[in-house]
């Protein structure tokens, strides 16, 4: 090593490091794909995915070990074996699916072969028959295949079969020398056709090819009979890949007659990950995808190494399982992956890489919340985080290094909250933190701190949020309290006075940008808008929002500033994207009208076509400036989150974009993110429900011609639409318009169901369109709907009506006298009816008089306590004006008077409100278990003093000591209080009131008996009606609103109980309450 020149040694070292880095890169790219998972939670019948196929109508068919699944992007329809039904598949274990030129679906199961008709409503099953040599050679059909001549081949457990469409029979082919009895050599697992039209067969004992001339299968001797063949696949270049159970892939070059082994190499992480291979797919880009027992391996076109993708327990965007069974690419380019534990799909044309914080990865971010991003000339990505300090990512090796604050080390970073990072392109990295400005020297690995030293040559404020290095190398520093610049050596300049001169009060500098003309543009983060800073003339000009001017800035809180290659200035605000025409100083706003559904703009980057890519709280939007429409990318496309962050956006020199958010960083090449227009983007009718039923509607529908003809009584229609675009079904929106009914197009968003109810007879035209996530529209689908007239509005019906009218006129003339008699009878009836109505009217008038008397009485009841309250208040007020103070005893007396009458007034109002609630049906009981004996005793004891003050004896004599029932304790108490109160009111001094309780098992009886004035028998029922006047004279004499008994009966009835009265005038009354023990 001493003889090796130092420069040569360094060159060799760099070459070795770069070689290692790129080797790591090839394997690391396996982390870039974001898989969408589809499992039984989404409606899949079972998670073992044996095969995947897309039919000509666009539906995806999934073969599982428990049912055949049809998927439309939203839901599954499952075909299963149903014992005893004629239309059924023979088994739930589905092996393989193909479609013929008539669009019949052929399904191989372990109990036979099914042909499902084009409309998917008829199923014809085929199985083996020992007596019929033209039946299948075995019921266990493992594979179906349609060759280039549209011939159907069926591989079974015992031989190969060719289907003859004309005779509906099969021709059998066996391994040469093994056609007499059951042989494992004839156990066929896969079928393929090469470029020369030769049929190849994979079996449990090696590879066979068909000698059609002699009608036998011959052994391909280059592959051992010990090999268990899972798949044979012909590549576009004519090479044949043979996938084995345990020995990887054998690549056969038919032209050269050579075989190459492709196997796992434990010493090479870029080799095939496992030798067990079940699935092979060459996509439309020429990339080769291999499904193994340990994930997917892909060999990119023109490369020799494999990139590997595996299942990760902690990553919901990884494969559902490592054991890959099937691979398929649909018409949109999406690749579908079938595993032992669910279905996956992904877009191979979208290469999105994410950096996140993970407890399971050695190399992960120190914090999920990401702010500033910068990539230096060595490919190191410098990332600021919310609380995890500064992260440095080596994009070649994926290694991440952390720089965090150390209070004992002055050469560490100032603060772990890093807002923004910029660099000079060499060794200087400048970092904006919440604790000051830092410079990191890559050559020394040390930080230099710059702080606010209050008035000296220093920072204007320590909370630094934005940085920019201009063309002259000056570092511009935006803080939460001002702007300053630094020559990156020793001199700071504070621009606070200049900002004050131009009356700029918002000092939160959220963004700084130097345009191509050398003008510095400054964004204010709170409400200061955009500032144009001409450094030559040292002038500042503010641009702010004007509500009356649509050409003003959309919002005053600035988040980002950027310039496209044409010199247009773009400004992201907290409410909208703006483009500034610098010549006329007018702003053009972009928002929801252009498809930017979330207008909180964080960052702006431009692609090679000058289309701005913006990060928001609703994902990332690409604005196509030529078409003036936006395309949205969100978590459904694999982004770390829909919410991004300020300062967190960067485009490197290769055009790779970085956007940071609340869960990490997303990086991508914009050329690989744009969705291609789907050529076959058509909308179809999936199903039609008539009066809520899908069955039996075939006679009304001719969907191929776009016609629906319904009878008058089947005028409720529901149409389900289908678009065969699985790239992001949640972003497909639907619009429709029914002529004669809808005045404009109805935006149905992502709902693919159209419903119309009670359509009147007539002709209608339903127009339907779909829109994908980019804004591309499908062709308009037109459906003619006819609702027939009911029978009574048909031409024959009108003829019958005319005949009937003529007959009626004829008979009418001859029956005038009969009609006259009928008129006389009706006149007499009307006269009698008038007499009845007069009596009823008199009763109503009488009832209204009762009501008026009731309300007059109630008004007196309300006015009495109010008068007492007002009189007492006036007396206290007058006494208080005098020099001598009110005596304490008098004051207590007056207060008791106020209290007593206030309670009386409140009780009246509560009774009125509660009675009204009960009448309206809004009153709710609070049912709980209560000891009714205890409850009643407590009420009696509480009223004992009141009774004794009235000169009455109040006695309670329960027959039981305890009885628990379900009731509303508070309302039952009010009922008992009402009854006892009435007894006290209507009983003269010296009388007695007795309260009793008895247990009748399922019911409890409570009786309140007094020796009062009594009630006439004719008033037993009407006393419970507050509008009745049978008891009016007595209540007027003794006082009261009449609400108490009404309320009591209503509460008892709500408890499913009853109340009635026994009484004799002059002797006394007894009110009896019956309550059930259980409220059910």
* Mean pLDDT score, 634-646: 90
pLDDT at 864: 58
Selection from 406, 401, 436 nearest residue 418 by Cα: 436
Reported confidence tier of residue 18, pLDDT bands at 50, 70, 90? very low
Tell me whether residue 263 is exposed, middle or buried, using C-beta atoms within 10 angstroms of its C-beta: 0 to 12, 13 to 18, 19 or more: middle
Residue ranges with strand state E in 120-236: 123-126, 141-146, 152-156, 159-164, 169-173, 188-193, 199-203, 206-211, 216-219, 229-234
Q: 83: which residues sit within 8 A by CB, 6+ positions away? A: none
Question: Are the beta carbons of 482 and 509 closer than 8 angstroms?
Answer: yes
Residues 186-220: pLDDT tens digits? 999 999 999 999 999 999 999 999 999 999 999 99
Distances (CA, A) of 633 to 47, 148, 624, 645, 1032: 29, 40, 14, 16, 78
Show the tokens assigned to 813: 């003339």
pLDDT at 20: 33
The partner residues of 108 in beta bridges, in order of sequence, read 96, 113
Residues 980-997: pLDDT tens digits? 988 988 899 999 999 999
Reported confidence tier of residue 23, pLDDT bands at 50, 70, 90? very low
* Mean pLDDT score, 55-79: 95
* Mean pLDDT score, 1025-1048: 59
Given a cut of 80, whether residue 327 has pLDDT beyond it is yes
Show the tokens assigned to 529: 């808008």
Residue that the structure tokens 């994009």 belong to: 395
The partner residues of 372 in beta bridges, in order of sequence, read none
Residues in the chain: 1080
Distance CA 241, CA 326 (A): 15
pLDDT at 15: 34
pLDDT at 213: 93
Given a cut of 60, whether residue 505 has pLDDT beyond it is yes
Distance CA 931, CA 1048 (A): 19
pLDDT at 165: 94
- Residue ranges of the alpha helices (H) in 748-887? 795-813, 816-881
For residue 599, the SS3 value is coil
* Mean pLDDT score, 702-710: 87
pLDDT at 409: 93
Question: Are the beta carbons of 223 and 181 closer than 8 angstroms?
Answer: no
Given a cut of 80, whether residue 1008 has pLDDT beyond it is yes
Given a cut of 60, whether residue 14 has pLDDT beyond it is no
Query: Cα–chain-centroid distance for residue 1042?
Result: 57
Reported confidence tier of residue 773, pLDDT bands at 50, 70, 90? confident
Question: Are the beta carbons of 352 and 36 closer than 8 angstroms?
Answer: no
Sheet of strand 1058-1064: strand arrangement: 953-958, 992-1000, 1003-1010, 1068-1076, 1058-1064
Given a cut of 60, whether residue 453 has pLDDT beyond it is yes
pLDDT at 275: 97
* Mean pLDDT score, 822-850: 77
Selection from 136, 122, 211, 206 nearest residue 168 by Cα: 136
Element housing 543 (H / E): strand 539-543
Largest CA-CA distance found in the chain, in angstroms, rounded: 142
- Conformation bin of residue 43: beta by default, left when phi > 0, alpha when psi is -120 to 50: left
Given a cut of 80, whether residue 814 has pLDDT beyond it is no
Reported confidence tier of residue 647, pLDDT bands at 50, 70, 90? very high
Residues 751-761: pLDDT tens digits? 999 999 999 99
Residues 906-928: pLDDT tens digits? 766 777 777 777 777 778 889 99
Show the tokens assigned to 199: 């049929």
Given a cut of 90, whether residue 522 has pLDDT beyond it is yes
Show the tokens assigned to 891: 């004051």
* Mean pLDDT score, 323-337: 95
Residues 528-570: pLDDT tens digits? 999 999 999 999 999 999 999 999 999 999 999 999 999 999 9
Distance CA 1011, CA 951 (A): 13
Distance CA 365, CA 1077 (A): 67
Given a cut of 80, whether residue 430 has pLDDT beyond it is yes
Selection from 1019, 1005, 1025 nearest residue 1063 by Cα: 1019
pLDDT at 1027: 56
Share of the chain above pLDDT 90, in %: 63
Show the tokens assigned to 746: 């109805």
Question: Are the beta carbons of 674 and 656 closer than 8 angstroms?
Answer: no
Residues 571-596: pLDDT tens digits? 999 999 999 999 899 999 999 888 89
Given a cut of 80, whether residue 5 has pLDDT beyond it is no
Given a cut of 70, whether residue 102 has pLDDT beyond it is yes
Within 10 angstroms of residue 109's Cβ, the number of other Cβ atoms is: 24
Question: Are the beta carbons of 665 and 676 closer than 8 angstroms?
Answer: no
Given a cut of 60, whether residue 10 has pLDDT beyond it is no
pLDDT at 30: 46
pLDDT at 1047: 82
SS (H, E, C) 296-353: EEEECCCCCCCEEECCCCCCCCCCCCCCEEEEEECCCCCEEEEECCEEEEECCCCCEE
pLDDT at 778: 85
Distance CA 270, CA 169 (A): 48
Q: 507: which residues sit within 8 A by CB, 6+ positions away? A: 479, 480, 481, 482, 483, 496, 499, 524, 528
Element housing 54 (H / E): strand 49-54
User: What mean pLDDT, rounded, does the chain reach?
Assistant: 88
Residues 723-769: pLDDT tens digits? 888 888 888 889 999 998 898 999 998 899 999 999 999 999 999 99
The partner residues of 1076 in beta bridges, in order of sequence, read 1003
Show the tokens assigned to 1043: 């609400």
Reported confidence tier of residue 676, pLDDT bands at 50, 70, 90? low
Given a cut of 90, whether residue 872 has pLDDT beyond it is no
20: Cα within 13 Å, side-chain hemisphere: 9
Show the tokens assigned to 291: 């499904």
- Residue ranges of the alpha helices (H) in 950-1031? 969-985
Question: Are the beta carbons of 413 and 422 closer than 8 angstroms?
Answer: no
């Amino acid at each position: 090593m001493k003889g090796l020149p130092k420069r040569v040694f360094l060159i060799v070292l760099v070459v070795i490091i770069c070689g290692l880095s790129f080797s790591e890169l090839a394997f690391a790219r396996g982390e870039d794909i974001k898989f969408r998972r589809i499992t039984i939670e989404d409606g899949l019948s079972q998670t073992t995915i044996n095969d995947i196929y897309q039919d000509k109508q666009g539906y995806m068919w999934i073969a599982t070990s428990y049912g055949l699944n049809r998927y439309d992007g939203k839901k599954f329809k499952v075909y299963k074996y149903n014992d005893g039904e004629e239309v059924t598949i023979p088994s739930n274990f589905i092996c393989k699916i193909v479609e013929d030129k008539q669009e019949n679906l052929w399904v191989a199961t372990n109990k036979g072969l099914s042909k499902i008709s084009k409309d998917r409503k008829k199923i014809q099953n085929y199985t083996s028959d020992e007596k019929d040599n033209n039946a299948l050679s075995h019921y266990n059909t493992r594979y179906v295949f349609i060759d280039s001549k549209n011939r159907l081949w069926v591989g079974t457990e015992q031989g190969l079969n060719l289907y003859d469409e004309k005779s509906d029979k099969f021709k059998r082919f066996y391994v040469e020398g093994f056609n007499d009895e059951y042989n494992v050599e004839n156990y066929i697992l896969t079928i393929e056709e090469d470029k020369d039209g030769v049929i190849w067969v994979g079996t449990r004992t090696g590879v066979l090819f068909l000698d059609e001339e002699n009608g036998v299968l011959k052994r391909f001797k280059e592959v051992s009979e010990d090999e268990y063949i899972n798949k044979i696949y012909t590549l576009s270049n004519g090479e044949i890949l043979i996938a084995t159970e345990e020995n990887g892939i054998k690549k056969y070059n038919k032209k050269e007659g050579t075989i190459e082994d492709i196997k796992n190499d434990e010493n090479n992480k870029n080799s095939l990950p496992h030798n067990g291979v079940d699935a092979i797919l060459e996509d439309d880009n020429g990339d080769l995808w291999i499904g193994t027992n340990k994930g997917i391996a892909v060999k990119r076109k023109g490369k020799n190494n494999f990139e590997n993708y595996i299942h990760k327990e902690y990553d919901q965007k990884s494969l559902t399982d490592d054991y890959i069974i099937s691979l398929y690419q649909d018409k949109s380019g999406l690749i579908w992956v079938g595993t032992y534990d669910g279905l996956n799909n992904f877009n191979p044309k979208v290469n999105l890489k994410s950096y996140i914080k993970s407890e399971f990865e050695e190399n992960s971010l120190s914090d999920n919340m990401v702010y500033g991003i910068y990539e230096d000339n060595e490919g190191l990505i410098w990332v600021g985080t919310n609380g995890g300090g500064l992260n440095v990512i080596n994009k070649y090796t994926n290694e991440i290094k952390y720089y965090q604050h150390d209070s004992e080390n002055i050469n560490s970073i100032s603060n772990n909250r890093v807002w923004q990072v910029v660099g000079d392109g060499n060794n200087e990295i400048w970092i904006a933190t919440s604790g000051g400005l830092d410079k990191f020297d890559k050559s020394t690995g040390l930080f230099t701190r710059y702080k606010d030293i209050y008035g000296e040559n220093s920072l204007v404020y320590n909370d630094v949020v934005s940085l920019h290095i201009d063309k002259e190398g000056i570092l511009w520093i935006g803080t939460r309290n001002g702007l300053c610049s630094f020559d990156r050596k020793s001199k700071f300049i504070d621009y606070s006075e200049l900002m004050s001169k131009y009356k700029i009060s918002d000092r939160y500098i959220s963004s700084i940008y130097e345009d191509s003309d050398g003008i510095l543009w400054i964004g204010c983060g709170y409400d200061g808008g955009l500032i144009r800073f001409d450094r030559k003339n040292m002038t500042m000009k503010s641009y702010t929002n004007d509500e009356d001017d649509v050409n003003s800035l959309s919002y005053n809180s600035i988040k980002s500033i950027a310039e496209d290659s044409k010199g247009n200035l773009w400004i992201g605000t907290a409410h909208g994207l703006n483009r500034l025409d610098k010549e006329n100083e007018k702003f053009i706003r972009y928002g929801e009208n252009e498809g930017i559904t979330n207008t909180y703009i964080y960052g702006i980057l431009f692609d090679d076509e000058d289309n701005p890519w913006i990060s928001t709280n609703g994902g990332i939007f690409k604005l196509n400036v030529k078409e003036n429409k936006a395309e949205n990318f969100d978590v459904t496309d694999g982004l770390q989150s829909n919410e991004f962050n300020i300062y967190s956006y960067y485009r490197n020199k290769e055009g790779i974009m970085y956007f940071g958010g609340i869960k990490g960083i997303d990086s991508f090449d914009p050329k690989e993110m744009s969705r291609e227009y789907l050529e076959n983007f058509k909308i179809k009718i999936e199903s039609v429900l008539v009066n809520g039923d899908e069955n039996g509607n075939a006679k009304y529908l001719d969907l191929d011609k776009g016609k629906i003809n319904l009878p008058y009584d089947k005028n409720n229609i529901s149409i389900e639409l289908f678009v065969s675009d699985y790239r992001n079904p949640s972003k497909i929106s639907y619009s429709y318009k029914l002529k004669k009914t809808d005045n404009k197009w109805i935006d149905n968003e992502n709902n693919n169901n159209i419903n119309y109810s009670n359509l009147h007879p007539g002709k209608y035209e339903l127009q339907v369109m779909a829109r994908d996530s980019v804004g591309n529209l499908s062709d308009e689908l037109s459906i003619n709907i006819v609702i027939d007239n009911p029978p009574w509005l048909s031409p024959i019906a009108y003829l019958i009506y005319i005949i009937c009218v003529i007959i009626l006129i004829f008979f009418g003339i001859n029956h005038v006298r009969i009609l006259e008699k009928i008129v006389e009878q009706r006149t007499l009836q009307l006269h009698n009816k008038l007499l009845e109505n007069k009596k009823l009217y008199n009763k109503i008038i009488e009832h209204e008089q009762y009501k008026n008397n009731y309300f007059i009485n109630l008004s007196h009841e309300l006015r009495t306590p109010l008068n007492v309250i007002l009189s007492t208040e006036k007396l206290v007020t007058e006494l208080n004006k005098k020099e001598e103070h009110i005596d304490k005893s008098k004051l207590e007396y007056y207060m008791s008077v106020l209290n007593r009458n206030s309670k009386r007034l409140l009780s009246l109002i509560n009774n009125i409100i509660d009675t009204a609630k009960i009448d309206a049906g809004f009153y709710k009981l609070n049912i709980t278990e209560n000891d009714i004996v205890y409850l009643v005793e407590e009420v009696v004891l509480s009223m004992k003093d009141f009774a004794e003050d009235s000169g009455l004896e109040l006695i309670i004599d329960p027959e039981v000591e305890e009885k628990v029932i379900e009731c509303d304790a508070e309302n039952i108490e009010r009922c008992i209080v009402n009854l006892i109160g009435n007894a006290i009111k209507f009983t003269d001094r010296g009388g007695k009131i007795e309260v009793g309780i008895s247990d009748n098992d399922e019911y409890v009886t409570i009786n309140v008996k007094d020796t009062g004035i009594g009630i006439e028998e004719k008033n037993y029922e009407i006393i419970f009606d507050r509008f009745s006047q049978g008891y009016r004279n007595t209540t007027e004499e003794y006082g009261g609103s009449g609400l108490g008994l009404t309320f009591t009966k209503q509460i008892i009835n709500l408890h499913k109980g009853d109340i009635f009265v026994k009484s004799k005038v002059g002797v006394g009354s007894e009110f009896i309450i019956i309550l059930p023990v259980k409220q059910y």
